[in-house]
Amino acid sequence: MIARMATNPLPQFPAGFLWGVSTSAHQIEGAVDERAPSVWDAFSAGPGHIKDGSTAAVACDHFHRYPEDVALLAGLGVDAYRFSISWPRVNSPGGLDFYDRLVDALCAAGVRPVPTLFHWDLPAELDWMDRDTAERFAEYASVVAGRLGDRVKKWITLNEPAEHTLLGHALGAHAPGKQLLFDALPVAHHQLLAHGLAVRALRAAGADDIGIANSHGPTWAASDRTEDVEAADFYDLLLNRLFADPVLLGQYPEGIGELMPGDVESDLKIIAEPVDWYGINYYQPTEVGAPEGAEIEFSGLTLPAELPFTVKELEGYPVTDFGWPVVPEALTELLVGFRERYGDRLPPVVITENGCSYDGIDDQERITFLDGHVRALHRALEQGIDVRGYFVWSLMDNFEWAEGYERRFGLVHVDYDTLERTPKASYNWLRDALRAQR
C-alpha cells in the first residue's frame, strides 16, 4: 500500500475542463522492428548520444501492452489521453492499424483520444531543412485523419518545434544530431509551415478542434543591467515568440522573417491558419544573462560559447531529480504574459504538458509539484484566462530522449527489466483529485 499525502482539496475547475495525461510514440512504444526507421533510431545508435547507452527499441513496449495502459488510464479517471502517432509507423505496412486499435480501446474505456501527429520521430529519409517535408507532413495528416477522424475529434499538429529545432538541429543533443546553430532556423520555419498545412488538411477532413503543443516558459533577466535584459529578451524571442507569434499573429518577431527561407510572407498566411486552441507545455522559467564567452553546462546540455546569451541556474527554488527548478507561480505569470501579448488573438489555452522527474514509487514530491501547478493554473483562470485543459507529463516512466531511462516522469512506474507497471502515489493522488472535480 502506497502512503498518501494529505493535501487540501484542489480548487474546483469549470465543468467540461479537460483533465488528461500525455505520452509520445517514440518514448513508449518500442517495437522499432515493426516499423520503418526514424531519425531517433540512428541517433540513439551513435556513441555517447544517449547518456545511459540505451535505445527506445523496447521502451515500455506499449505497442504490445497498450490494453494494460488503457486500463491504467481508465483507472486514473482522466477525460483524455494525449499520445503521439509515429509517422514512420504509419508509413509501414499495417502501421495505422495499431492506432486504430488504440483509439478503439480508448473510446471503449471512455477516454478521449488526443493524438499529436509529430513528436520528433521524423521518418529517417526526411529532413526538416527541406521545405518538401512540410508538404509531406500535410499528406500524412490527411491519411491519419481519413482513418481515425470518425473517432478522434481533438488533434495536435506538432509537439515543441522549438526543442526539436534547438536540441536536434542547432545543438545536436537530440536527433538528428545536427549542430547548425543559427543556420537551423529553416527547421523552425518548415515545421511551422507543416503545422499550418496540417491544420488545412485536418479541416479538409472535417476536424474542428485543432491545436499545437508549443513549449513556453517565462524568461527572467539575470539582473536589470541592459546587457542582461537584452540577452534575456533575445532568448525569449528564440524560445517563445519565434514559435507563438507566427501561429497567433501571422508574423515573425522583428528581424527573424528575413532569416527564413522561401516566400515567408505567403507562408505566414498558412502558418497563421486559425487554431481552435493553443497548447502550452510548461516546465520551468529560465534565467538568462549576457554572454560570458565560455561554454555552459545547463540541464544536461553543453551550450557553445558563441551563443549571445548565458543560461543560468535559478537559485532559491526546490529542484526535481533532473535539477529543474520547481516554480509553479511562473505558470500563472506565463499565462498572464500570453494574454498581455496576444490579447484577442489568443484562443482558449490547454496545458498540453506539465510534470517532473523524480525517482521512487512513493513520489510525494511529484504530488507537491502537481498540486502547486494545478493551483497556479487555477489562479490564471481566476484572472480571466480561458484555460480549457491540463495534461500531466507523463502517464508512465519512459525513454527520456538523450537522458535514456534515468529520468522518470511517470505517474506509473515502469520496471524496465520486467516491464511491470506500478501506479505511484501520485497516480492515486491524481485519481482522487479528479474524482473530487466531478
Q: Which residues are catalytic?
A: 160, 353
**What whole-number distance in Å separates Cα of residue 170 and Cα of residue 181?**
4
Q: Decide: 37 and 376 in contact? Cβ < 8 Å.
A: no
160 lines the binding site for ligand BGC (CB under 6 A): yes
Nearest distance, CB of residue 226 and ligand BGC, angstroms? 31
159 lines the binding site for ligand BGC (CB under 6 A): yes
- Which position has the grid cell 496540417? 198
Q: What is the DSSP letter of 10?
A: P
Nearer to ligand BGC, 38 or 159 (CB): 159
Nearest CA to 11 out of 382, 271, 352, 383 is that of 382
Nearer to ligand BGC, 27 or 165 (CB): 27
**What whole-number distance in Å separates Cα of residue 245 and Cα of residue 266?**
15
Q: Which segment (103-111, 159-167, 230-238, 329-337) binds ligand BGC by CB under 6 A?
A: 159-167
121 lines the binding site for ligand BGC (CB under 6 A): no
Nearest distance, CB of residue 279 and ligand BGC, angstroms? 11
Tell the burial category of 12 from Cβ atoms under 10 Å away from its Cβ (0-12, 13-18, 19+): exposed
**What whole-number distance in Å separates Cα of residue 219 and Cα of residue 227?**
14
Nearest distance, CB of residue 354 and ligand BGC, angstroms? 10
19 lines the binding site for ligand BGC (CB under 6 A): no
C-alpha pair distances (Å), 45 with each of 177, 302, 408:
11, 20, 22
**What whole-number distance in Å separates Cα of residue 143 and Cα of residue 5?**
46
Partners of 302 in the β-ladder: 297
Nearer to ligand BGC, 13 or 393 (CB): 393
Nearer to ligand BGC, 24 or 426 (CB): 24
Give CA angle at 326 (435, 360), nearest 5°. Answer: 65
Number of residues that bind ligand BGC (CB under 6 A): 11
Nearer to ligand BGC, 184 or 264 (CB): 184
Nearer to ligand BGC, 264 or 334 (CB): 334
**What whole-number distance in Å separates Cα of residue 106 and Cα of residue 81?**
8
Nearer to ligand BGC, 245 or 400 (CB): 400
Nearest distance, CB of residue 104 and ligand BGC, angstroms? 25
Among 400, 413, 423, 424, binds ligand BGC (CB under 6 A): 400
C-alpha pair distances (Å), 236 with each of 24, 230, 244, 259, 344:
26, 10, 11, 17, 21
163 lines the binding site for ligand BGC (CB under 6 A): yes
273 lines the binding site for ligand BGC (CB under 6 A): no
| Cα-Cα end-to-end distance for the chain | 25
Tell the burial category of 108 from Cβ atoms under 10 Å away from its Cβ (0-12, 13-18, 19+): exposed
287 lines the binding site for ligand BGC (CB under 6 A): no
**What whole-number distance in Å separates Cα of residue 210 and Cα of residue 149?**
12
Q: Within positions 138 to 157, which residues make up the interface with ligand BGC, using CB under 6 A?
A: none
Among 277, 393, 405, 427, binds ligand BGC (CB under 6 A): 393
215 lines the binding site for ligand BGC (CB under 6 A): yes
Cell (9 digits) for 94: 499495417
Q: Within positions 331 to 390, which residues make up the interface with ligand BGC, using CB under 6 A?
A: 353
Provide the pairing of β-strand 155-159 with 349-353.
unpaired
Nearer to ligand BGC, 25 or 260 (CB): 25
Nearest distance, CB of residue 293 and ligand BGC, angstroms? 28
Nearest distance, CB of residue 283 and ligand BGC, angstroms? 6
**What whole-number distance in Å separates Cα of residue 125 and Cα of residue 37?**
8
Among 91, 281, 310, 428, binds ligand BGC (CB under 6 A): 281
Nearest distance, CB of residue 8 and ligand BGC, angstroms? 28
Nearest distance, CB of residue 163 and ligand BGC, angstroms? 5
**What whole-number distance in Å separates Cα of residue 436 and Cα of residue 125?**
48
**Which residues of this chain interact with ligand BGC, rule CB under 6 A?**
24, 27, 159-160, 163, 215, 281, 353, 393, 400, 409
